[in-house]
Structure 1
Amino acid sequence: MQLIRKSVLHSETVFVDGEVDAPTPLKMVGAAAVIKNPWHGRGYVADLSPEIRLLGPQLSRHLTDLILGEIGSGEAVEAFGKSAVVGLDGELEHASALIHTLHFGNIYRGAVGAKSYLAFTNTRGPANAPISIPMMDKNDEGRRSHYLTLQFSIPDAPAADELVIVLGASTGGRPHHRIGDRYTDLKELGHDVKNPAAV
């Protein structure tokens, strides 16, 4: 049986932000797969790992191919993120399950040459629910210029028994970023820049 009911590729290019031309057009892309929730109708399932291992890599490869086909190459991706929306009959854990795993994330991370973890959202909603993909620099979590969010929706998804699994990418940061980065704040506050986790 076909895993994916439909794919959706959302692409937008920002030329002007705040009435000021962008130095370089910013392209943001979201690739979504609408699938039947594999745990729907089964009651409480204690072990989600069989479906995670089976479906996660397939979905990641499909969505990664869509992203790279639209942007052109993994090198052109500067920021990235992921999202999942489970239909109203599912658990939030179902939305989390297929995206919060290295079986899913590492395929995309490898394809774009990234070191960072993927920023994420996991939510429950009806058809046409907002899909928000938070993004950050693929190699530097503290680089605030690349903190972005792409939003779109799919009019007929998720159905109550479906999941929407999403990857996002950006070719740059915000057009006129000027709030500094996390490391500047750490220095100003007297914290160890080399060990920000200690804060």
Structure 2
Amino acid sequence: MAGTGAVAARVAGRVPTATSGGDGWLLGDDGGGFWIGRAAVRAALRAADGRGEPTALVLAVGRDLGLPEEVLPPEGYGVTGGYGVTGAAVWSAERRTAYRAGVLPAVMDRPPVRLADHAPVVVRTAEEKDAVAVRILQEAARHLAETVAALAPRPGEPLVATGGLLAPDGPLLSPLTERLAPLGLTVTPVADGSPGAVALARLAHGTGA
């Protein structure tokens, strides 16, 4: 399951017998929505101070946080073809400094888990072919694949995937499926756990599945 957090579990006899991940936003949940949103803000801050490459996430994150337009980079900053000196130079040092000064308190004044709010902009920016956003999602899929692999799955075992990132049409469903293909797993995405909960309740009361 991958939504705000991320966890994998092996289920036998309708009971979880082992888990991998699910350690919460502070210590784990690698590849989940919090991890992705934090990576987006980190990438934006690094682009602003010169440690990272220009990325359209700078503009997206700034608008997510409600920063004033006068501190944001111009439209088109960091888009495909906009990297390098030319793309970076149009965003002045003064505006970069003001951007960082706005991002930090905007993030710190909210509960940390709210960083997950920025995960959707990473998906949108990746769809627009922003290289930094694409790498973030690729890394997230890698983390999720490692979480599953830690349970030593056997070829042919079913894998039920759910959560905002892995439900049908979830942005990480396809890359995760590709990464798990060498393990011979069959991935079945579901929108949520409600049908399973109903089935378990029926079984518990002797009314069948």
- TM-score band, normalised by the shorter chain? 0.3 to 0.5
TM-score normalised by structure 2 residue count:
0.32
Higher relative contact order (CA 8 A, sep 6+): 1
More helix by share: 2
More strand by share: 1
TM-score normalised by structure 1 residue count:
0.33
